[in-house]
Amino acid sequence: MNLDKNLLALLKTTKIPFLLTILFALFATVMIILQADTLSYVLNDVFLADKKIHQVSSLIIYFTIYSILRAIFSWLEHSQANKTASYIKQELREQLVDKIVRLGPVFTRSEESGEISNTLTAGIDSLDAYFSQYLPQLLISVLVPLTILVFVFPIDLLSGIVFLITAPLIPLFMFLIGNSADKLSKKQWKKMSRMSAFFLDVFQGLLTLKIFGRSKDYLHKISEVSEDFRRSTMKVLRIAFLSAMVLELVAALSTAIIAVEIGLRLLYAKMIFREAIFILILAPEFYQTLRLLGTRFHAGMEGTAAAERIFKLLHLSETNEESAMLRQEKVSSKLIIFRNVTYTYPGAIHRALDRVNIVIEPDKKIAFVGPKGAGKSTLTYLLLKFMVPDSGEILISDFPLNSIEPEFWRAQLSWVSQDPFLFHRTVMDNIKIARPLATDEQVYIAAQKAHIHDYITSLNNGYDTLLGERGIRFSGGEAQRITLARAFLKDAAILILDEPTANLDPEIEQKITEAIDELSRNRMVITIAHKLKTVKKADIIIALSEGKVVETGSHQSLMEKGTIYRKMVEARGV
């Protein structure tokens, strides 16, 4: 029946427009029956009773009224069906976006963004036909023929029996063919998702492909992927057209059977002409609803194929989902304690963190150092509540971090990354992400502190300048200073620095270092260090290796008695 319990559950929020769709369809059916009845009287009176047109004018007026009402009810039926689909798509898209946001950046980095984008857009849009056409038609194709049979059986038992016997043939052939089409449709959807992911990957890496002279090779691969999707689509369409042909043939043969058995009885005067005309007019309408079910069955299949991926995402467990959330006072004067924290990334063999114990005191400057893969970024993600430990716990003084609302907790943090993300919006919008309700004057002050105000005002459009996708119009140093301006504007109690001076020229690095020094005053600062010269001012340096804390102390103490940190300093000539 191509019914998905997850999709059906979405109808709970749109019961009224969905029920109105069915109700208006029944009203339209009643109008069709009244049209047929009126028309049968007109034909009988004109051709057999030899009445003039003016003598049946009242019947013609009734027929016109029924036709207008039928058109109105049909329009209302489609309107409510579209409203049902629109509400559900909007709700589902909001749920999916909210889910992806709650899953966090750790999840999105492990997935293909093109595939997720395709699911959010084309995937949810493909559900339109399922809710606006297939589901309503499923009920209509049962109720409408039954309604017609209620009027046919009292008039002519034999025609009613023929209707009853032939009607199931259409859905029978539909489902027999539909099973094959459903499998092909799911394969087609998966190929389209992979194609979307591949296209986005190629477009984002176009600069690299050009540099290495591989763009033509990838154009050939794009052609191959497109051709594979085309073949998959044509297989689905071939089945769909075959199904449509079979259903039309069955409906035509069934109508012909009705016409033959009525014609023979009329020939031998075994049936009244008016009743025969009435049933013959209704016969195409009787099978029309069943034919439409077959057509809309295929239209809804793409939606069920996309739904499989949509609900797979919605049913993913969330790492920061808690049973009880507490809103606590600001944490600027609280300890942060990592107690026996262990974490392993999904699919990984080795632990990213292995029984880590760290105490970060208020208003202290802490630096994490260590080789790539030591666990520095993992500690940050745990602290930002993008994921939760496999074992152990993180405490904010006496409160488990997992008991604090994520949004409330993150409001106490500022994160300055070495790879800042700028949106395709204005400079003002990009800075105001930190505090949407901030005044323009507050934004100007934050930009001045980040040493970027003068550069912004030198642009033609100033703070109204569009940055382009991923901030393409700004250099790395300018993007870093925009990120620092965000941090100044937010003015959070805890500052997390992920080496914001990496890969910058000395002049820009000096400006950013000065801005960071000002930003770091009177607040807890946690630095993930790649350049060791940036951690000398830290109160405590924590050296990590293979997910474990191996050394802790100040720069001086670790240089005197340490091993790992001292070797790192000496090797890099800091």
What is the DSSP secondary-structure string of 327-386?
Answer: -PPP-TTS-EEEEEEEE--TT-SS-SEEEEEEEE-TT-EEEEE-STTSSHHHHHHHHTTS
Residue 550 has pLDDT above 90, yes or no: no
Residue 424: partners with Cβ closer than 8 Å, 6 or more residues away: 466, 467, 468, 469, 470
pLDDT digit string, tens, across residues 36-81: 989 988 888 888 777 888 788 899 999 999 999 999 999 999 999 9
Token readout for 56 is 């049946």
Q: Give one word for 397, left, alpha or beta, with left for phi > 0 and alpha for psi -120 to 50.
A: left
Is the residue at 517 inside a domain?
Answer: yes
Eight-class DSSP state of 317: P
Of 182, 180, 144, which Cα lies nearest the Cα of 163?
144
In the numeric block, the tokens 């946690």 are attached to 526
Give CA–CA dist 42/551, Å, rounded: 100
Give CA–CA dist 52/305, Å, rounded: 58
Contact, 435 vs 489, CB < 8 A?
A: yes
Q: Do 289 and 406 lie in a common domain?
A: no
Residue 182: what pLDDT?
65
Cα–Cα distances (Å) from 472 to 422, 476, 479, 508, in that order, read 8, 9, 9, 18
Residue 263: what pLDDT?
86
Q: What average pLDDT does range 126-149 have in this prediction?
A: 86
Q: Do 344 and 490 lie in a common domain?
A: yes
Contact, 265 vs 276, CB < 8 A?
A: yes
Q: CA-based Rg of the chain, rounded to a whole angstrom?
A: 35
Residue 177 has pLDDT above 80, yes or no: no
Is the residue at 331 inside a domain?
Answer: no
Q: In what order do the strands lie in the sheet with 413-416?
A: 413-416, 494-498, 524-528, 365-369, 540-545, 548-553
Residue 112 binned pLDDT confidence (cut-offs 50, 70, 90): low
Percentage of the chain exceeding pLDDT 90 = 8
Give CA–CA dist 401/91, Å, rounded: 31
Is the residue at 330 inside a domain?
Answer: no
pLDDT digit string, tens, across residues 442-473: 889 888 888 888 888 888 888 888 887 777 77
Q: Do 310 and 340 lie in a common domain?
A: no
Q: What average pLDDT does range 319-326 have in this prediction?
A: 47
Residue 195 has pLDDT above 80, yes or no: no
Instruction: Return the H-helix or E-strand segment holding 69.
Output: helix 57-110
Last residue of a domain, one of 254, 283, 314: 314
The 10 Å Cβ neighbour count of residue 175 is: 15
Is the residue at 25 inside a domain?
Answer: yes
Give CA–CA dist 368/356, Å, rounded: 12
Q: Do 223 and 302 lie in a common domain?
A: yes
Residue 357 has pLDDT above 80, yes or no: yes
Is the residue at 264 inside a domain?
Answer: yes
Q: Do 259 and 351 lie in a common domain?
A: no
Q: Which has the higher per-residue pLDDT, 32 or 345?
A: 32
Q: Do 515 and 458 lie in a common domain?
A: yes
Q: Do 307 and 360 lie in a common domain?
A: no
Residue 397: what pLDDT?
77
Contact, 265 vs 271, CB < 8 A?
A: yes
Give CA–CA dist 362/384, Å, rounded: 17
pLDDT digit string, tens, across residues 465-514: 888 777 777 877 788 888 888 888 888 888 888 876 665 667 777 777 77
Quick check: helix, strand or coil at residue 507?
A: helix
Is the residue at 319 inside a domain?
Answer: no
Residue 332: what pLDDT?
44
Q: Within 13 Å, how many C-alpha atoms sit on residue 467's CB side?
A: 24
In the numeric block, the tokens 């044509």 are attached to 234
User: Which residues sit opposite 416 in a β-bridge?
Assistant: 497
Q: What average pLDDT does range 346-350 have in this prediction?
A: 79
Is the residue at 323 inside a domain?
Answer: no
Token readout for 547 is 């997910």
Residue 73: what pLDDT?
95
Give CA–CA dist 175/301, Å, rounded: 12
- Written as one letter, the residue type at 470 is R
Instruction: Return the H-helix or E-strand segment holding 247.
Output: helix 215-267
The values of phi and psi at residue 504, to 5°, are: -115, 155
CATH number at residue 231: 1.20.1560.10
Q: Give one word for 361, left, alpha or beta, with left for phi > 0 and alpha for psi -120 to 50.
A: beta
CATH number at residue 532: 3.40.50.300
> What are the DSSP E strand ranges found in 430-536?
494-498, 524-528
In the numeric block, the tokens 């990592």 are attached to 338
Token readout for 127 is 């559900």
| Number of structural domains in the chain | 2
Q: Do 147 and 238 lie in a common domain?
A: yes
Q: Do 261 and 386 lie in a common domain?
A: no
Residue 80: what pLDDT?
93
Domain range for 524: 336-572
Percentage of the chain exceeding pLDDT 70 = 85
Q: How many residues does the chain have?
A: 574
Residue 30: what pLDDT?
92
Q: What average pLDDT does range 260-283 have in this prediction?
A: 86
Q: Do 378 and 256 lie in a common domain?
A: no
Q: Do 51 and 84 lie in a common domain?
A: yes
Residue 399 has pLDDT above 60, yes or no: yes
Residue 330: what pLDDT?
47
Residue 324: what pLDDT?
43
Q: Do 342 and 308 lie in a common domain?
A: no
Residue 293: what pLDDT?
78
pTM over 0.75: no
Q: What is the mean pLDDT of the chain?
A: 80
Contact, 107 vs 100, CB < 8 A?
A: yes
